[in-house]
Amino acid sequence: MKKIAISSGHGLHVRGANGFIDEVDEARRVVGRVCDLINMTGVNESRHFHDDVSRTSGDNLRAIVNWHNSQDRDIDVSVHFNAVEQPSANGVETICRDSSNQDFAHRMSQAIANAGGFNVRAPQGGATLRGVQFRTNLFVVNGLQSKPMLMLEICFVTNQRDADLYNENFEAICQAIANTLISNT
C-alpha cells in the first residue's frame, strides 16, 4: 500500500494567488478530489491537510510542513496554482528539491499537461508544459523530510486560457494526478 500525504497550498486566512480563479479554493478542490480517487482504489491511502487556523505566512508554512512530517507516508504532494503580473505566463510546473525526483516530477507535469490540454500552445497564448523546476529556496520543499516530494503548480490563475482549460478539464487533471501518484515506483 502506497501512503500519500497531500496538502493544499496557503490557507483559509493566508490566501494565495487570485485571478480568474482562486488558488486556495481550487487547491482544496483538487486535493479533495485526488484523495477521493486514490482512496477509492482500496489499495492505496491518501490523507490531506488544509490549513484553516494560521494567520501569518510563517505560521502557515510551518503548519503545512509539520503536518506532512507527522504523517506516515511514502510521498508528499503540495498543490498550488501559479501567478505573475504578466498575463501571458501560462502552463504547468512541478517543483522538487533536486534531480532525485526528476523522472517522477516530469511524469507528473506531463500527465497534468496532457489531461488539461496545457501542452498545446493555443493561438491566443494558451498554456504550455513548463515542466520540472528545481527549487531549494521554498520552505515547504526544504522542510519535508520524505522523498519523493512534489509541489504542483497546476496552472496560472492570472491567465484566462489556463483558468478555462483547468475548469474544462478539472476531472481529467485530478485523475491524472491520482494515477501518476499511484503508479510512481
Contacts of 20 (CB under 8 A, 6+ apart): 157, 158, 159, 160, 162, 163, 164
**Residue 116, H or E segment:** helix 102-116
Per-residue pLDDT of the chain (185 residues; tens, 9 = 90+): 889 999 999 999 999 999 999 999 999 999 999 999 999 998 888 999 999 999 999 999 999 999 999 999 999 999 999 998 888 888 899 998 888 888 999 999 999 999 999 865 554 555 555 777 777 788 888 888 776 889 999 999 999 999 999 999 999 999 999 999 999 75
Do the Cβ atoms of 109 and 174 come closer than 8 Å?
Answer: no
Whole-model pTM: value is 0.92
Give the CA radius of gyration of the chain: 15
| Of 42, 12, 6, residue with least CA distance to 154 | 6
CATH architecture, range 3-183: 3-Layer(aba) Sandwich (3.40)
Burial of residue 66 (CB within 10 Å: 0-12, 13-18, 19+) is: exposed
Do the Cβ atoms of 54 and 60 come closer than 8 Å?
Answer: yes
**Residue 173, H or E segment:** helix 170-183
Do the Cβ atoms of 66 and 82 come closer than 8 Å?
Answer: no
Do the Cβ atoms of 159 and 116 come closer than 8 Å?
Answer: no
